[in-house]
Amino acid sequence: MTNRTPDPARFPARFTWGVATSSYQIEGAPFEDGKGPSIWDTFSHTPGKTVGGDTGDVACDHYHRLDEDLDLIQSLGVNAYRFSISWPRVLPQGRGPVNQAGLDFYSRLVDGLLVRGITPWVTLYHWDLPQTLEDEGGWTVRSTAEAFGTYAAVVAAALGDRVRHFITLNEPWCSAYLGYGTGVHAPGHTDLKASYAATHHLMVGHGLAMQAIRAHAPGAQAGITLNLYHAYPATDSAADHGAARRLDGFQNRWYLDPAYGRGYPQDMVELLGDLSPHAQGLVHPGDTELMGAPTDFLGINMYSRAVAQDAPGEGFLHARQIQPEGSEYTGFGWEVAPDSLTDLLVRLQQDYAPHAMYITENGSTYPDTVGPDGTVHDAERTRYLTEHLAATQEALARGAKVSGYFAWSLMDNFEWAEGYDKRFGIVHVDFSTQARTLKQSGRTYREFLARTRDTVGA
Ligand code: FCB
């Protein structure tokens, strides 16, 4: 990369600048006002599943601190906020009776954003599946995809008069692979075959949700958010190039290809053999069209890159991800690789030509502390942020149609299996007092955004 300092003047005037969160990670209030249990309520309360036995029971107490948090978001100078809706808060049993109090919470959230001049970006599914649906098989069964379509219709009908941006799924790779394959996430199953059944029903659910949004919120922009990384071969050998191609297939193409109407990539279907949704008899006539319903944008969550080494006999991919020596790593052990964001965006533009691309998550975790002077000097996160903004700018210069960037995350929150141990916020949260403190990274983002406004029309 040539320039690691982003220049506000180099971003389009109408660029979307935001921060992102998700329901289970911040809301708390798991059983208030008629909410039903989600798989994350169950999972986090199961001993041994999260670091320190942490749960989202309180999290950032956002459910009770809505106005304060809306003011906080406004104070950053962002023009968009991405949040997710808790499905069991709206439909406590996954389908059937609507919980009006749950919908009202999100309605107030939307109104509170609009009154502050902030555009709401709604994610319909950020992993908190109603437990009742999991009890029927969760994403391994097609009826969950159908229930998701119905839920999408309820939300689009209720909020579609004010919400113009909907994301169907957040990171189906995580829901399927971590939730049903490795068991690291809820619902905690360890069955690869089930995880590939889940991928298919998630993508079918995405298609049904797209139909519901089109029907109930005509004119709204809608798309899907995938967690993508650029995969590089560890060496120039043909074998490592093959390994990079397989990792790319596993993480990226398995979702991108069906979302862009191509069905599942043939090389991966062959590699998966009995595991593939086809071999499991799950792909119905018309599914390719359904999963490939035209979208208005692609949401991209990017944290790192993959460096692939050929590893015959290892797993079903015969590939391993290595951590190059001499690189810098975040608190999660993820390599800091801003140039790979440029490569990823340029590649997506070339291979899929989405109508628009939005970076819907990008961020880093470090063990922050509030200093004696009351501030948080998160120099590493600040650098991570500015370098990834510069990488986005570089992608724009190279022709990638990027229309927005959301920092993950507005504030420290419940980081899934890692509990409260991993802080990703640009705002620090003291979980014993719920005090919010803007970190240095948050200040830097705010100052950068103020400068983007100065350049509008210049
Ligand atoms: C992504 C998730 C988000 C958060 C970040 C760190 O995979 O979408 O909820 O956990 O990672």
Known catalytic residue at 171: yes
Residue 1's pLDDT is 47
Known catalytic residue at 394: no
Residue 2 included in any domain: no
Residue 453's pLDDT is 79
Residues 6+ apart with CB under 8 A from 347: 230
Overall average pLDDT of the 130-142 stretch: 99
Residue nearest atom 10 of ligand 1, based on CA coordinates: 415
Q: How many domains does the chain fold into? A: 1
Percent of the chain at pLDDT > 90 equals 98
Residue 1 included in any domain: no
Overall average pLDDT of the 88-96 stretch: 98
Residue 123's pLDDT is 99
Q: pLDDT-based confidence at 180, cuts 50/70/90?
A: very high
Q: Is the pLDDT of residue 458 over 60?
A: no
- Is residue 343 within 6 Å of ligand 1 at its C-beta? no
Residue 301 included in any domain: yes
Residue 334 included in any domain: yes
Residue 144 included in any domain: yes
Neighbours of 373 (CB within 10 A): 7
Overall average pLDDT of the 260-264 stretch: 98
Tell me the per-residue pLDDT of 272-328, one tens digit each, with 9 for 90 and over. Answer: 999 999 999 999 999 999 999 999 999 999 999 999 999 999 999 999 999 999 999
Q: Which domain holds residue 13?
A: 8-457
- Is residue 424 within 6 Å of ligand 1 at its C-beta? yes
- Is residue 415 within 6 Å of ligand 1 at its C-beta? yes
Written as one letter, the residue type at 369 is: T
Overall average pLDDT of the 75-93 stretch: 98
Q: Is the pLDDT of residue 417 over 80?
A: yes
Q: pLDDT-based confidence at 455, cuts 50/70/90?
A: low
Q: What is the mean pLDDT of the chain?
A: 97
In whole angstroms, give the CA distance from residue 118 to residue 18.
9
Measured in angstroms, how far is the CA atom of residue 279 from the centroid of ligand 1?
A: 31
- Is residue 228 within 6 Å of ligand 1 at its C-beta? no
Q: Which residue has the higher pLDDT, 72 or 455?
A: 72
Measured in angstroms, how far is the CA atom of residue 286 from the centroid of ligand 1?
A: 31
Residue 3 included in any domain: no
In whole angstroms, give the CA distance from residue 153 to residue 142.
17
- Is residue 301 within 6 Å of ligand 1 at its C-beta? yes
CATH assignment of the domain containing 261: 3.20.20.80
Residue 387 included in any domain: yes
Q: pLDDT-based confidence at 457, cuts 50/70/90?
A: very low
Tell me the per-residue pLDDT of 183-226, one tens digit each, with 9 for 90 and over. Answer: 999 999 999 999 999 999 999 999 999 999 999 999 999 999 99
